[in-house]
Structure 1
Amino acid sequence: MSATFNHTIIASKDRERSALFFRELLELTEAPSWGPFTNVQLTDGVLLQFAEPPVEIQMQHYAFLLDDELFDRAYQRLCDRGITHWADPQMRRPGEINNEHGGRGVYFKDPAGHAIELITRPYL
């Protein structure tokens, strides 16, 4: 068997709020949750497990590859909700998207303060 990515735990201040944010933004369905985790499953089977750690949350970066149609809908949701976003990871181009790597991309922060990136083409 080759190696594939299975799951990651994402620290959140409110695991239910974070899971709902990603489900709505990326049009995902609920996944069975257990213990300290509220789970969201991506279409390729990868689980995002949201948990509320008893420590200060350090910002992490998570990037999601979307098709053009889902990117359009997700970007519209960001705009409709008034979520601050940038075309660049340095946060110098607010309110814009980028057209790099032959596709489009946008950066913003999720409810826990993590840096989220949506792209339509992989970097490689």
Structure 2
Amino acid sequence: MSATFSHTIIAAADSAKSAQFYVDILEAEHTQSWGFFSNIMLDEGVMLQFASPPPTFEIPPVHKAFICTDEHFRRAVSLLDERGLDYWADPQRSRLHETNTEHGGRGVYFLDPSGMYLELITKPYL
């Protein structure tokens, strides 16, 4: 049996703002935070910790994909629309304000407040 995923630290220009963005989009919950971290909890005990790096550190973008239900997907895309945020049907960002139907489900790509590449899908790739 393989190990299970526990948590990850996500670099953020504003840790509280990024944590709130993920709570809103992923329909996650705030959880106990400490020190430099603004923490949120996904289902099954997976914690995302947001922290601002030192001022001289550039935040390189990283891609993160999350699986959600069709209903959650619709709410998330509606939230992106309400907030006037860009999203794309493809990772090359050529199909602005569209979603895709790849891999037997729906998908969308967008950026978090610090420029991280996020993806929501309704079906796993494999």
Alignment TM-score, normalising by the size of structure 1: 0.97
Quick check: which one's helix share is greater?
2
Displacement, 1:80?
A: 0.8
Q: Tell me, what secondary structure is at the counterpart of 2:94?
A: coil
CA distance in structure 2 between the aligned counterparts of 1:44 and 1:76, rounded to whole angstroms? 25
Residue ranges of structure 2 left out of the alignment (5+ in a row): none
* One-letter code aligned to 1:86: W
Indicate yes or no: 2:101 matched with 1:99. yes
CA distance in structure 1 between the aligned counterparts of 2:27 and 2:103, rounded to whole angstroms? 24
- Residue equivalent to 2:35: 35
| Residues matched between the structures, number | 124
RMSD value, Cα: 0.9
Residue ranges of structure 1 left out of the alignment (5+ in a row): none
CA distance in structure 2 between the aligned counterparts of 1:50 and 1:60, rounded to whole angstroms? 13
CA distance in structure 1 between the aligned counterparts of 2:65 and 2:122, rounded to whole angstroms? 11
Displacement, 1:24?
A: 1.2
1:108 to 104, 107, 110: 110
* One-letter code aligned to 1:81: R
What is the CA deviation profile of residues 82-111 of structure 1, one whole-angstrom value per residue up to 9, with x for unaligned ones? 110000001011110000000000001000
- Residue equivalent to 2:74: 72
CA distance in structure 2 between the aligned counterparts of 1:59 and 1:31, rounded to whole angstroms? 24
User: Structure 1 vs Structure 2: percent identity of aligned residues?
Assistant: 56
- Residue equivalent to 1:14: 14
Alignment TM-score, normalising by the size of structure 2: 0.95
